[in-house]
Amino acid sequence: MGLARNAPGAPAGGPACGAAPARPAVPARAAAPAEATAPAQATATLSGSEHGTRARIARLILENGPATATGLSARLGLTPAAVRRHLDNLLADGMIEGRTARSYGTRGRGRPARLFAITDAGRSAFEHAYDDLATSALRFLAERAGPAAVGEFARRQIADLENRYRAAVGSGSASERVMALARALSADGYAASASRAPAAGGGGEQLCQHHCPVAHVAAEYPQLCEAETEAFGRLLGTPVQRLATIAHGDGVCTTHITAPSLLKSLNRDRRSSPAMTDKAGGTSA
């Protein structure tokens, strides 16, 4: 449990993940056609004559995070005007929402760029079926055996994922392991990316998951997120801290991975400072 919480160097409040540097490969089983699992409203949105382009735009926003019309037009090879027409339809149907891009430093003249982010309704168009069944099953388990049983179930489920990912993560540098974990997650449909965490927050790495197949279930049972975070810490061999989750209404699941150099420095300080040892581990004589 300790690896999953209070990671040294984690930014207070947690930065939101930006767009993924490159679109990760997501297998077909995790990217079922939107019309197959969407609610009625989303199905209507994505079933017209322009289904293909509109679905591609929604998927780009889902997998790469909030995007501008200009950025989407460049990726799709369409004019910004054509992309905006599709965005207007997605906005009208509640599939996406508009946000004003944050400005860092000095900004030029003109209105700030507008970002488009996926909504819960839009995300549900890409999620697996049987969320209600899974939630009901866990609710039954909690009622009959208690909340601890749900946690045990979550850890058992994530153990299979952890075993599969261990070989993929390997034993390279810290950044290489995080990148390898992102690739493994993407192969399972999580549309993950990795990047350096802001230096102001202590450095380290940042793992972003732009899609969560169990987000609706995890919203009621956060034990699923907790078990996953603990597994990340074990796989990477360093403390990690979950800063944001799709299940709790954030646009992206964001995990901060402590820089090994910071961890070594803290360990040296603890060994050399009795007061710090007392506070951290309660091992004073």
What span, in angstroms and rounded, lies between the C-alpha atoms of 239 and 173?
Answer: 15
Beta strands at 253-257 and 205-209: parallel, antiparallel or unpaired: antiparallel
Q: Which of 47, 171, 59, 42 is nearest to 118 (CA)?
A: 59
Q: For residues 133-143, b (16+ Cβ closer than 10 Å) or e, as one string? A: ebbeebeebbe
Beta strands in the chain (DSSP E): 96-100, 114-118, 192-196, 205-209, 240-244, 253-257
DSSP letter, residue 247? G
What span, in angstroms and rounded, lies between the C-alpha atoms of 189 and 29?
Answer: 8
Is residue 83 classed as helix, strand or coil in its secondary structure? Answer: helix
**pLDDT confidence of residue 2:** 35
pTM: 0.56
Tokens linked to 259: 């820089």
What span, in angstroms and rounded, lies between the C-alpha atoms of 149 and 142?
Answer: 7
pLDDT in tens, the chain (285 residues): 334 444 555 655 455 565 444 433 333 333 333 333 333 344 434 444 456 889 889 989 988 888 999 999 999 999 999 999 999 999 999 999 998 876 555 555 656 788 999 998 887 776 654 577 789 999 999 999 999 999 999 999 999 889 999 999 988 888 999 999 999 999 888 999 999 887 655 678 999 999 888 888 999 999 999 999 999 999 999 999 999 999 999 989 999 998 866 655 555 555 565 554 444 344 433
**pLDDT confidence of residue 138:** 94
What span, in angstroms and rounded, lies between the C-alpha atoms of 65 and 67?
Answer: 6
